[in-house]
């Protein structure tokens, strides 16, 4: 009879195979876990993402219109940023946003020049609701309180806004304005009116913004 060699595997080779098997199992578990994680963080449908991008753009336009309306002394443009029942809290004022616009318009109307800058815009959209945070910097040229001429005042802070979309239109439903800095006024070297006519922005609807926008919409 022929004898068959029945060599038993060494402890070392057995350990190597167990190590290799363990590594394969680990890779499989990791791959399964990765797949599960990917499934949980799968991107939203394309339509949803497009809607969110469009919503962000529309909300930014509302924030910019708020600044533009103040700069051009256009209370109607500012008021159009809010739903009629929108509430407002900024500084000493707390009430309806429409009333705040009237309150602020009395101050804005006295300025020689105004420039409001909106930046660091962050927006989160959830269906027909959105939450935004933005920073603002404001420059006001005004008559000095002591009657010595004109002065430049600078302020900065943040706007925290809740938005609602109705019939495809985004507007603010609640605003919290925070004033973080009001710098000491700086005496102006010369009156704002001394700038040559046509070189600076207008404070009303005679500003070139309205004229050029009307021409653009008319296809001119």
pLDDT at 31 over 50: no
Terminal-to-terminal C-alpha distance of the chain: 108
pLDDT at 51 over 80: yes
Residue extents of the structural domains in the chain: 49-193
pLDDT tens-digit profile of 98-149?
999 999 999 999 999 999 999 999 999 999 999 999 999 999 999 998 888 9
Sign, CA dihedral 121-164-66-182, equals: negative
Secondary structure class of 179 (helix, strand, coil): strand
Nearest by Cα to 159 from 207, 112, 115, 97: 97
pLDDT tens-digit profile of 171-201?
999 999 999 999 999 999 999 888 887 788 8
Reported in sequence order, the residue ranges of 150-214 that DSSP labels E, i.e. its strands, are 150-166, 169-182, 186-187
pLDDT at 161 over 90: yes
Secondary structure class of 37 (helix, strand, coil): helix
pLDDT at 26 over 50: no
pLDDT tens-digit profile of 55-77?
999 999 999 999 999 999 999 99
d(CA 135, CA 199): 28
Q: What is the pLDDT of residue 147?
A: 86
Going by pLDDT thresholds of 50, 70 and 90, the confidence category of residue 38 is very low
Structural contact between residues 50 and 181, judged by C-beta atoms closer than 8 angstroms: no
Structure tokens at 20: 């290799």
Backbone angles phi, psi at 123, to 5 degrees: -130, 135
Largest alpha-carbon pair distance within the chain?
126
Backbone angles phi, psi at 109, to 5 degrees: -65, -20
d(CA 75, CA 140): 17
CATH code of the domain occupying 49-193 = 3.10.450.50
- Give the predicted TM-score (pTM) of the model: 0.78
Going by pLDDT thresholds of 50, 70 and 90, the confidence category of residue 41 is low
């Amino acid at each position: 009879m022929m004898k068959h060699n029945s060599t038993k595997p060494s402890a070392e080779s057995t350990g190597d195979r167990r190590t290799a098997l363990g590594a394969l199992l680990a890779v499989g578990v990791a791959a399964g876990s990765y797949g599960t994680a990917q499934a949980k963080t799968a991107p939203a449908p394309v339509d949803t993402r497009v809607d969110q991008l469009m919503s962000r753009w529309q909300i930014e336009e509302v924030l910019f219109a708020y600044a533009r309306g103040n700069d051009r002394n256009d209370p109607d443009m500012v008021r159009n940023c809010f739903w009629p029942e929108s509430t407002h809290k900024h500084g000493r004022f707390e009430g309806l946003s429409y009333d705040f616009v009237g309150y602020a318009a009395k101050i804005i109307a006295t300025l020689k020049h105004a420039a409001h800058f909106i930046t660091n815009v962050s927006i989160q959209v959830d269906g027909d609701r959105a939450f935004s945070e933005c920073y603002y910097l404001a420059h006001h040229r005004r008559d000095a309180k002591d009657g010595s001429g004109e002065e430049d005042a600078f302020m900065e802070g943040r706007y925290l806004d809740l938005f609602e979309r109705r019939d495809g239109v985004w507007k603010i439903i609640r605003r919290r304005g925070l004033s973080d800095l009001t710098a000491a006024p700086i005496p102006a070297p010369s009156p704002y009116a001394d700038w040559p006519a046509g070189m600076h922005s207008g404070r009303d609807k005679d500003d070139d913004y309205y004229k050029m926008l009307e021409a653009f919409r008319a296809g001119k």
